[in-house]
Chains A and B, each alone.
Chain A
Amino acid sequence: MKIRSESFQTLAREAMEDKRIQQILALVGPAIKAARDQAFKALDDPEGLLARGRDIRERSLANLPHLLEVLEEKVREAGGVVHWAETPERAREIVADLARRAQVRTVVKGKSMMSEEIALNDHLIGQGLEVWETDMGEFIVQLAGEPPYHLVGPAIHKTVDQIADLFAEKIGGPKKESPEQLTMVARKYLRDKFIRADMGITGANMAVAETGTIVLFENEGNIRLTVTSPRIVVSIMGIEKVVPTLEDMTVILELLPRSTTGQKAATYVSLLTGPRRGDEKDGPEEFHLILLDNGRSRILADPDLREILRCIRCGCCSFVCPVYQTVGGHSYGWVYSGPMGSVLTPQLIAPRLARLLPFACTQCGACQEICPIKIDLPKLHLALRSRFVEDPDWEGGGTFLDRLPMKLGAWFASGPGRYKMASWGARLLEKAISPTGSGWLTPGPVSRWSRKRTVPSLARPFSKRWPELKKQLQAGGERT
């Protein structure tokens, strides 16, 4: 996927002016949030479950080397093959090699963030393979030649009419009118691809170390078809997504669909343990698991940022984020969007491309509150901001002049006397520049900050105004 995170501001402005996008944001976020709250309320002990989820993710990361070794051993025992990839390039090569060796011509794919992260499609198409996204939304954006719009709904920005035109143009046949008819067109078209496909590629929602099992969630059945019909199945998973036991799996099983779509359970959960066995007549003959690092071991070594690896990719932090709810998914410019994306993206791609993302946060804390694993996302945003400002490794540092305003601010704020002096000076300045008391920062160098914000007038301190207000109140007068 092409990285456009450096254009966050431009993309955000475009999204804010796009009526359709604004409608969808206003519709989807609150609806999923409400369904999610309902789904958690229906649980016997939601707090207990959330605490267990957090504990499981913590324990899994703390024991990661052991879990990965056990997972590898168990997948092998079940007849699968485990590959290790340090970088996206290596993961792409592994898939391409497998395809070449087995003379694969057609590939079907289940929706996978991981495959977007490593930009797999373009690579495979470049190798002369026919590659089909089979998730309904992903299929639509693939036909349209666009990136997925949202983690959960890749094509929710498109109207029925747009999709009908797209299908009529690319698939052929008379133009259909209803979502049901369009779904049937895609179902029929993709059925043929599933049956012809030699290789199926999926991500993995998690892996269970003790059994060597890959766990896949979905609603459509396309992932089941992807792992049932082709003779080779490849699952690509980040190394952080392994949990120890089946018991641990059931906790995530309860948390993930509730947090993702507000469903009590995903329509299909598939537990795959190796390829088909003995006389089984369907399922893959070969099963491959690619364990991808791509910077995750580096994040794990960073105590300030490690927490993001607990993320189970439910995407619910987006729906409560005031920034995401305003600028939408495309603005983040890469695979992962919303609060978790703002933390993950700068660490997975060249940091300078994503330096705007951690600043796109109001520190309201809604994401942390709703996160099923209670990841302290606001703190992670702050940690990244300070990296970008101070750490030369993150192209931070800056000149003395860059730092001067903050240094002055810090000095004035470090004692009540200095603070009073500063606010007195500022009020005087405001009166001098703008006697009506509004927009006083608009001219001058600070206007870069103030033109995107409503700057309140510097009123006299409340403590000074109180005696007057008190008199008015006692007189029963209206507030002025």
Chain B
Amino acid sequence: MSNSERERILAAVEKALGNPPRDESIFSIPRAASHPSWVGPEEPWGNLETELKNLLARFHMAKDLEGARAVVRSIIEEHSVRTAVRWEHPLLEALGLDELLQEAGVELLRPEDRKESFVQTSAGADLGITAAEAIVAQSGTVIVRARAGQERSTSLLPPVHLAVLTTEQRLRSMGDLIPVFRGWMSKDGKLPSAVHMIAGPSRTADIALTMTLGAHGPKVLHVLVVEAGAVRAVD
């Protein structure tokens, strides 16, 4: 039944176009560059900072791990964070995030302890901490991908989202995302099940055209960029 419906729709489309030949070239032109253009860590960060400011996101840079930890502590204090969810990620481990949270009296929520779904657990957290894949200099867009241990909810349900990256994860433009995506595809054969591009905190202007942050997602987005060399020293 459903199959014949498929055939009928495809036949109607074929006929409408006069039975066009299968043109494989539509999948090959025009291709983006095969390597993404990463912006060198030494290039100025002012543009990205401005872009993030325009998006109403907060930008922090840290020269070393201690500086990065100080930023996390200040975020915990500013938003009176009591509970948090975080990704399993080498960068966050290098930061010593779990110890830091414990010292600051922040409870790390784990769904397995609470016998509930990860979404429910995240909904109960004050802060979600992720390690982004990249940030786009031109637009301030943070890129996160889903995989086991790196859940979609972490960057979405808590009222505050902190995305951590190193100075070597800055892409020049949106177009540079494509070779990054293709890199993932050549490894796994397909794109990740979910990739999110995040440009600032959640917002709406649906009530009386007044821009309000935190419509359904985070009210605050912090971006913390850590000196890549300092992270490598830990590995």
In the complex, what residues of B have CB within 8 A of residue A155's CB? 206-207
Docked CA distance A74–B191 (Å): 10
Q: Out of A195, A210, A228, which one reaches B156, CB within 8 Å?
A: A228
Does A183 sit within 8 A of B, measured CB to CB? yes
- Segment of A244-252, A328-336, A347-355, A390-398 engaged in the interface with chain B: A244-252
CB distance from B140 to the nearest CB of A (A): 8
* B207 & A163 in contact (Cβ 8 Å cutoff): yes
CB distance from B85 to the nearest CB of A (A): 11
**Which of chain A's residues 155-212 have a Cβ closer than 8 Å to chain B?**
155-156, 158-160, 163, 179-180, 182-184, 187, 190-191, 194-195, 209-212
* A78 & B217 in contact (Cβ 8 Å cutoff): no
- Segment of B2-10, B59-67, B70-78 engaged in the interface with chain A: B2-10
Does B53 sit within 8 A of A, measured CB to CB? no
Closest to A211 in B: B191
Does A277 sit within 8 A of B, measured CB to CB? yes
* A136 & B153 in contact (Cβ 8 Å cutoff): no
Does B23 sit within 8 A of A, measured CB to CB? yes
How would residues 180 to 194 of chain B score, 1 for a CB under 8 Å from any chain A CB and 0 otherwise? 011001000011111
Docked CA distance A239–B20 (Å): 17
How would residues 193 to 216 of chain B score, 1 for a CB under 8 Å from any chain A CB and 0 otherwise? 111111111111111111010111
Docked CA distance A264–B117 (Å): 35
Q: Out of B122, B196, B204, which one reaches A219, CB within 8 Å?
A: B204
Does B108 sit within 8 A of A, measured CB to CB? no
- Segment of B42-50, B95-103, B143-151 engaged in the interface with chain A: B143-151
* B2 & A267 in contact (Cβ 8 Å cutoff): no
Docked CA distance A298–B15 (Å): 10
**Which of chain B's residues 147-164 have a Cβ closer than 8 Å to chain A?**
147-149, 151-153, 156-157
Does A269 sit within 8 A of B, measured CB to CB? yes
* A221 & B216 in contact (Cβ 8 Å cutoff): yes
* A63 & B20 in contact (Cβ 8 Å cutoff): yes
Docked CA distance A69–B198 (Å): 31
Does B13 sit within 8 A of A, measured CB to CB? yes
CB distance from B116 to the nearest CB of A (A): 9
In the complex, what residues of B have CB within 8 A of residue A293's CB? 9, 12
Total A-B pairs, Cβ < 8 A: 248
CB distance from B17 to the nearest CB of A (A): 7
Docked CA distance A265–B198 (Å): 9
* A153 & B9 in contact (Cβ 8 Å cutoff): no
* A221 & B182 in contact (Cβ 8 Å cutoff): no
* B215 & A68 in contact (Cβ 8 Å cutoff): no
Q: Out of B26, B181, B207, which one reaches A182, CB within 8 Å?
A: B207
CB distance from B60 to the nearest CB of A (A): 20
Does A280 sit within 8 A of B, measured CB to CB? yes
**Which of chain B's residues 99-113 have a Cβ closer than 8 Å to chain A?**
111
In the complex, what residues of A have CB within 8 A of residue B146's CB? 276, 280, 282-283
Does B169 sit within 8 A of A, measured CB to CB? no
Which of B10, B148, B198, B204 has its CB near the most chain A CB atoms (within 10 A)?
B204
* B9 & A86 in contact (Cβ 8 Å cutoff): yes
Q: Out of A212, A253, A298, which one reaches B12, CB within 8 Å?
A: A298
* A247 & B30 in contact (Cβ 8 Å cutoff): yes
CB distance from A246 to the nearest CB of B (A): 5
Closest to B217 in A: A221
Docked CA distance A239–B16 (Å): 13
Task: Check A273/B191 contact, CB under 8 A, given A59-B26, A154-B206, A160-B208.
Answer: yes
* B10 & A69 in contact (Cβ 8 Å cutoff): yes
- Segment of B125-133, B170-178, B225-233 engaged in the interface with chain A: B170-178
Closest to B21 in A: A66
In the complex, what residues of A have CB within 8 A of residue B167's CB? none
Does A131 sit within 8 A of B, measured CB to CB? no
Q: Out of A85, A211, A228, which one reaches B119, CB within 8 Å?
A: A228
Task: Check A239/B207 contact, CB under 8 A, given A247-B178, A282-B119.
Answer: no
* A282 & B118 in contact (Cβ 8 Å cutoff): yes
CB distance from B30 to the nearest CB of A (A): 6
Interface size class of A (residues with CB under 8 A): 35 or more
* B151 & A66 in contact (Cβ 8 Å cutoff): no
How would residues 446 to 458 of chain A score, 1 for a CB under 8 Å from any chain B CB and 0 otherwise? 0000000000000
Q: Out of A156, A253, A271, A297, which one reaches B206, CB within 8 Å?
A: A156
In the complex, what residues of A have CB within 8 A of residue B153's CB? 228-229, 282
Does A11 sit within 8 A of B, measured CB to CB? no
Q: Out of A137, A247, A282, which one reaches B152, CB within 8 Å?
A: A282
Does A225 sit within 8 A of B, measured CB to CB? yes
Does A409 sit within 8 A of B, measured CB to CB? no
* A225 & B156 in contact (Cβ 8 Å cutoff): yes
Does B31 sit within 8 A of A, measured CB to CB? yes
Closest to B208 in A: A160
* B206 & A137 in contact (Cβ 8 Å cutoff): yes
Does A28 sit within 8 A of B, measured CB to CB? yes
Does A115 sit within 8 A of B, measured CB to CB? no
Closest 8 pairs (CB-CB, A-B): A221-B217, A301-B16, A137-B206, A279-B148, A297-B12, A136-B206, A220-B215, A300-B16
**A-B pairs with beta carbons under 8 Å apart, 25 shown:** A62-B17, A66-B20, A68-B10, A74-B190, A78-B191, A179-B207, A179-B208, A179-B210, A180-B212, A183-B207, A191-B123, A211-B190, A224-B196, A225-B156, A228-B152, A245-B31, A246-B32, A265-B199, A267-B198, A268-B197, A268-B198, A273-B193, A277-B193, A282-B118, A300-B13
Other than A66-B20, A153-B209, A297-B9, give 11 A-B pairs with Cβ distance below 8 A: A156-B209, A163-B208, A183-B215, A220-B217, A222-B215, A222-B216, A224-B216, A239-B9, A246-B32, A291-B9, A300-B16
Interface residues of B (CB under 8 A from A): 2, 5-6, 8-10, 12-17, 20, 22-23, 26-27, 30-32, 55, 111, 117-120, 122-123, 139, 141, 146-149, 151-153, 156-157, 174-175, 177-178, 181-182, 185, 190-210, 212, 214-218
Interface residues of A (CB under 8 A from B): 24, 27-28, 59, 61-70, 74, 77-78, 83-86, 90, 94, 134-137, 140, 153-156, 158-160, 163, 179-180, 182-184, 187, 190-191, 194-195, 209-213, 219-222, 224-225, 227-229, 239, 244-247, 250, 253-254, 263-283, 291, 293, 297-298, 300-301
